[in-house]
Amino acid sequence: KPPENLQATVSFEVSDWVVNADKPLAVTVQVEGGQVQVSEKADKDALCCDINTFTQLFAGGLTVAQARAMGRLTGGNPAVGAACDALLHGRVPYRSDVEAG
């Protein structure tokens, strides 16, 4: 659950070659008062990446700046990147009990 004081809007365009290789998935997340709303559209300043990068962002294992530095994310602006990190980064990445290490 996001912090009560976080107010942010983040849009994503995610390329997923399994679901639809020709058209990115478009999602906008709005956060306010600890509540999250998701809509199936992207704003003009969306963060663009592939499904692998999005999964790592969502799991908290990668920041927007790290993804951008690796050439794995485009679009957005500094405010959108900061909002994405505030919403997603810092989560403990999930690891299955059956994973080695």
Residue 79 belongs to a domain with what CATH number?
3.30.1050.10
| CA distances, 11 to each of 6, 46, 94, 100, 101 (Å) | 16, 5, 23, 34, 34
Q: Provide the number of structural domains found in the chain.
A: 1
| Residue 48 pLDDT | 96
How far apart, in whole angstroms, are the C-alpha atoms of residue 28 and residue 6?
Answer: 16
Domain region containing 74: 8-88
| Residue 90 pLDDT | 67
pTM: 0.81
Asked if residue 3 is part of any domain, the answer here is: no
